[in-house]
Structure 1
């Protein structure tokens, strides 16, 4: 007969593995409940400064390790992990804005950031406006007495315009505004968001980062981060994070930790392939314009070069670019082009091993005029880790099928 005390013995078994186990990857700690030695220890523990553990939602050794490594990646001092890039955006806006206040978004911002502003934030009485990301004067003109927060993207979503980030951050400093950068494209590798000039004198107040993209690298994790350098701002964001009950799983944190050591290699490889394909596509008759900040003539190229170009070589850029298909080819032909691709799969996101493609209807996404973008249908490519020659051959056969060239 089974020992009636066996269930208790299995739960309260006295064995503890020996200390001193060290391996290349950090251990995965998963917990909701955290055990305290006694009541005094429970009352004494503090999680806000990461000096100890109180509850799984407030951090484990695994999530604390990931947070510190992400700080190293982007040059920050405090990091919060959230379930997605959009959750990071929501955490920031909900923490920093109150009823009657106002924020500014670049017209080419990540779409869900705009949707959040139109939806929940508007319902809470928080106002917003879009600004032309290529005009510092337009940004300055749209600042109101009640403006508190300016969102920045470099480059912008889908159309890839690279703003004068230095001038925009300076303007925010002069006006006493908090500026937060969506740094998913830069990923901590293209430029240093908290040290834009290289002398420690100028940087953004916070970044949000969709770790779903390059830090994960596998197209299989949803996670985001918020990184700051100012302790007061970091604590304000952390308290909102706590009140919203945001957290990530230990297994997801492990996956990102496992991928981080190779992020620079993957970023560079995808950058090389993306530039080669972008240059080739620029020569194709059906392509009216290529939108890649590292390419001469692309909107904001000079700003990209100043921030990401470096003293020598070609600088740094993500493996992401868009093309504008000549308006002589209608939407049906563009859709046929995307459907004809074999290696490029139709799907959102980027930064993973598989190349992706998505067509966009630009007029429905913009509130400001876009004279820098030629007429036609925008198609965005996210380059994976496939062989460059294979991707080029795939593009060639799809161009032939859809456009006859």
Structure 2
């Protein structure tokens, strides 16, 4: 059959072999996926491990990354989403129904709380807040369906008593969902984190942070260990049309080989900076779970057996420093850039007012405004000097 040149451009008569062995996996971009025949079209199911039916379901590129993330986190099944927040929202929308009760830590990631409050207002779920360092504050009723855990928590970095929180949740048949972005699957295994082999039910992870490592890609994941939970999430994932770019997946996959090295480096730099920050008179409190003086240090130590601790350190300025002074401090930082997120090569700083963020009394926190430092890949001594210069400016 002789083809018109225009048709031949679309249906090329000669194609290079599709598979070769390379260091990086091939990149597949696809919305439409071609079926070889009608048997391939009809003899498939959406629950197949690799459902090559449409681009939103997956391609070899996205499935390769999903398998890698599941392996890193110690789970069996992984779904990818366009951001960390969308991963969290997938869990909430999948498992919470009218009348259900969801428990969240008072140091929960802010957008998760905002999403849950929206669900509470519009769809009749009940949001309960617990103290992240007090298991007794978690009092599930018969309507409790889900508890969100963060290790460590957002901004103030408390590390919860995961062992007893999970035990209590399981005793009340409450699903446990962990925001595992801080640990990244490296600090501890969310699906086997104690001598009793305790596991959370679901791990949500902002791949935007350490897995990406470049500060340039948005992505999230939801990892599970049980097929029944995975299939419920998979169905909601499909119904909502959640999908990610093959190009983004390939970029994150490429970065995974260096993730542990970057994580360790940023952890070590954070510890060095932590020890220096504790010597500075401007700060009422320095927050980091690896600090022996931290109220949650023992929980961190019993869970993070590798003693890894991410690259985040927060400081609470003494109450004598007002907002204008601390804004001036932030504006004088040169190496630390003002920006949200973390896990990339550039160090970041962000200013927070805890009085506007917390819902319960937390006596372990000193009064004052907080600045969170997210340590990048710069030399730690240079970062210390940058903070020192900014302190001298105020």
Looking at structure 2, the residues matched to 121 and 7 of structure 1 have their Cα atoms a distance apart, in angstroms, of 56
Looking at structure 1, the residues matched to 25 and 19 of structure 2 have their Cα atoms a distance apart, in angstroms, of 13
Match of 1:350 among 337, 342, 346: 342
Could you tell me which runs of 5 or more consecutive residues in structure 1 were left unpaired when the two chains were aligned.
none
State the secondary structure of the residue aligned to 2:56.
helix
8 Å CA contact 1:47, 1:53 repeated in 2: no
Looking at structure 1, the residues matched to 3 and 233 of structure 2 have their Cα atoms a distance apart, in angstroms, of 49
8 Å CA contact 1:160, 1:299 repeated in 2: no
Aligned to 1:169: 166
Aligned to 1:280: 276
Aligned to 2:20: 21
Which is further off, 19-28 or 250-259?
A: 19-28
Deviation per residue, 1:244-300 (Å, 9 max, x gap): 000100000011000000000000000011111111011011011100000011120
8 Å CA contact 1:183, 1:209 repeated in 2: yes
> Are 1:183 and 2:189 an aligned pair?
no
8 Å CA contact 1:99, 1:124 repeated in 2: yes
Closer, same or farther: CA 4–16 of 1 in aligned 2, 3 Å? closer
> Are 1:233 and 2:232 an aligned pair?
no
| 1:387 CA drift (Å) | 1.0
Which is further off, 23-32 or 3-12?
A: 3-12
Looking at structure 1, the residues matched to 17 and 354 of structure 2 have their Cα atoms a distance apart, in angstroms, of 59
Aligned to 2:93: 94
Looking at structure 1, the residues matched to 293 and 121 of structure 2 have their Cα atoms a distance apart, in angstroms, of 37
TM-score by length of 1: 0.95
Deviation per residue, 1:182-239 (Å, 9 max, x gap): 000000010110001155x310001000000000000000000000000101100110
State the secondary structure of the residue aligned to 2:149.
strand
Q: How many residue pairs end up in the alignment?
A: 393
State the secondary structure of the residue aligned to 2:72.
helix
Looking at structure 2, the residues matched to 22 and 304 of structure 1 have their Cα atoms a distance apart, in angstroms, of 41
| 1:122 CA drift (Å) | 2.8
Looking at structure 1, the residues matched to 218 and 272 of structure 2 have their Cα atoms a distance apart, in angstroms, of 29
State the secondary structure of the residue aligned to 1:117.
helix
> Are 1:215 and 2:211 an aligned pair?
yes
Match of 1:262 among 254, 258, 272: 258
Aligned to 2:318: 326
CA RMSD of superposed structures (Å):
1.3
Aligned to 1:67: 66
| 1:144 CA drift (Å) | 1.3
Aligned to 1:336: 328
8 Å CA contact 1:194, 1:202 repeated in 2: yes
| 1:121 CA drift (Å) | 4.3
- Equivalent residues in 2 for 1:245-256 (5 A)? 245-256=241-252
| 1:309 CA drift (Å) | 4.3
Could you tell me which runs of 5 or more consecutive residues in structure 2 were left unpaired when the two chains were aligned.
none
| 1:4 CA drift (Å) | 8.8
Looking at structure 1, the residues matched to 27 and 133 of structure 2 have their Cα atoms a distance apart, in angstroms, of 44
| 1:18 CA drift (Å) | 2.3
Looking at structure 2, the residues matched to 10 and 137 of structure 1 have their Cα atoms a distance apart, in angstroms, of 68
> Are 1:385 and 2:382 an aligned pair?
no
Aligned to 1:151: 148
8 Å CA contact 1:50, 1:64 repeated in 2: no
Closer, same or farther: CA 4–63 of 1 in aligned 2, 3 Å? closer
TM-score by length of 2: 0.98
8 Å CA contact 1:291, 1:299 repeated in 2: no
